[in-house]
Each structure stands twice: as C-alpha cells, then as structure tokens.
Structure 1
Amino acid sequence: MRALTQNIIILVCGMVVSLLLVFFGIQPILDSLSNLHDEVRAQKTEVLTLDQQILAFKTAQSDLSKAERKSDIDQAIAKREQLVEAVKDVEAAISLTNSQHTLQIYDQNEPGFAKEAAVIPNRVGITEIPYTLNVTNDFVGLLNVLSYLEHLPHFTEVSRIDLSSETIPAEGGRVIRTGKVFGSINGVFFMESGQ
C-alpha cells in the first residue's frame, strides 16, 4: 500500500470515528444538558411564583392585621335570637331617609308558606329568613334606602326589587306622575342556624 492510500484510510477512519463520537457520545450529553436546562428554568419559574404568592400572603396578612372592627365581622351573621337587632338596624337606616315603610318577616315553618329557592344553595350553618320591605319615597330617597341596606352590619341579600310611580288621573285621559315612588324589596336575613 502506498502512503497516500494509507493516509486516506486513516483520514476516513478518523472521520467515521469522529462522527460516531459526535452522534453517540456528545449528542446525548448535549440533549441531557438541554433537558437539565429546561428543568432548571421550570424550577426557577416555580420559585418565582412561590415568592410572589408568599409576598401576596404577607401583604394580605399585614392588611388584615390593620383591619378595624374585626368583631363586627364575627357578628355580621347573627344568631336567630338577634334578629331583632337586624330589624332595628333596617328600620333605623330607613328612618334616616324619611321614608314610609312596612317590613314583613316570614316564618318559613308557617303552614301555607311557599318556600323559594335558597339564595345560598347547599349552605351549612346558615338559615335564611325572608322578608318584604315596602317603601314609599321619592326616587332619590329610595336609592338612599338601598344604599343604607347595603351598608348594614348584619348580612342581608336583596333578591328582588319592584318600583312603581304614583300617578293621578288628569284631563283628557292623561296621567300625571307625582314624583312619589313605591318600592317593594324582597330579601333574606342570614342567621346562624345553630347546627
């Protein structure tokens, strides 16, 4: 064999060995490094998410420690015996608006009472006591009544509001609106059921 042929064979064998080394040695190592890099990136993202959640929790905890009137929150859902206080709060709020009103509270255990669907389905430990509040005032006064109802210390949920205006007949079959509004508000008081 000549020296040139030997050199070509050595060169070809070297190239084959190099290619085999790249495909079977270096490429799997590079793939595993790429997978490790992806795992590290995912872990960094998870750590950042956890850091943000910890920061949000600490902020919420700090805000909660600054909260005032915490005892009012505990008493927002009153016991059944304290329904009188909730009714007094409603009537006091309405009296601030100089509205005429009637408040009717329904006993769900009374025969002939048609039970409506619960405001909170599948509730545990809470009883809903339905009521109807009929209010007469001008429109702004009625809006004030709703505003006061919204800010009462006892939880109540308004489920329906019907408004109509007072009218008087006039000449020629016309109707004059007096500015007085009749409002009917259906809702529920939330009470602890003692279960």
Structure 2
Amino acid sequence: MMKRVHFPIRTDDSSGLITYPDQIRFFSNADLAAMPGHIIAEYSGSLDLPLYGPSKPSVRPLLVITQVTSDRSTQTTVAMDRHEVICPQGATLSFTAELRGEDSAVLPLSDSFRLPIRQQGGRDGLLLATLVEGIVTVSAPFTVPGDDGTWLVDEAAINAGLPEAAQMRFAGMTVSVFRA
C-alpha cells in the first residue's frame, strides 16, 4: 500500500550524501514548494517511519480575486464578490488575485500558468496567468466577434493537468459579454 509522506532532506554526516528510506517514489520538483526542507514522496515499504513521519493533510492554497478592471469601465459591472462580471464585447478585463496559504498570508511564489476559460456552448479559450510574489495578474480581451455570451473559469479547469502539489482552490468566475 502506498502512503504519501514528507521526507526531510537530510545528509549522512560521514558521506555528505542525501539519504532516504528504501521503497519511495519521488514527485516532481513542484512538490518541494509545499513544504520547504522536505521532499514529498509515496512510500510502499512496510516499516513505520517515525523518524520521517506521515505527511499532514495539506490544504491547497486559495486563489482570491482582489480586483477587476475594464478598459470600458462605464459599461462594465463587477459583482461585490468579484466572481461575476458583465461587460461589452470589445472590452479587455484585467484581473488581480492573491494566492493565499492556509494562514491567509500571500504565498511568495512566482510562476506563470495557463488559465482555461470556457464559453457556454463549448468554445474554449486560454489565458496566461502571471504569478509574481503571490500576486496573480490576468488580462482577458473579449474583442473577437463571437466573444459575446457567458464565459466560465472554475477550479477544475485551473487544476486540470497540474500536479497535485501545484493545485489551488478557486471559487470560480463568470464573465457575461454582451453585444454593444
């Protein structure tokens, strides 16, 4: 049976080599950010690992939208919770969000990731989300004919294809684009 565990990164004082118990399978380097000083792995051995300890269930970081702006602000409506926007076709929306840890503090991570967006009716789009020191920015142009309608971004879409350690919680976003 495989158990998910955090292995401390430690060295054997005599050799300087990193040592780990047998029968483990390491995950990608993205998992290292989840718990600094540890490597996340699956362990299939039968020995108890009191020295290393089983992993505590981790809470995925939360992506929280903090600001939505539009280049057509007089024609754009943003809901109080920032999870619903109504804008005219031709508008470009800019979203700012924070990636927050379990203690609600902004996580000082920098990266970029794809942000899939789906129009009701089945059309797919892809935006680039840029993460700098825990602050995410996304520019979403709705300028192409046919962009009118309702567009959705949800937690499942954001996390699709990401390793488990890089996944995040997200309340979702709806953008309704009307013909101007």
Given the two structures, how large is their TM-score scaled by the length of structure 2? 0.25
Determine which structure has the larger helix proportion and give its number.
1
Scaled by the length of structure 1, the TM-score of the pair is: 0.23
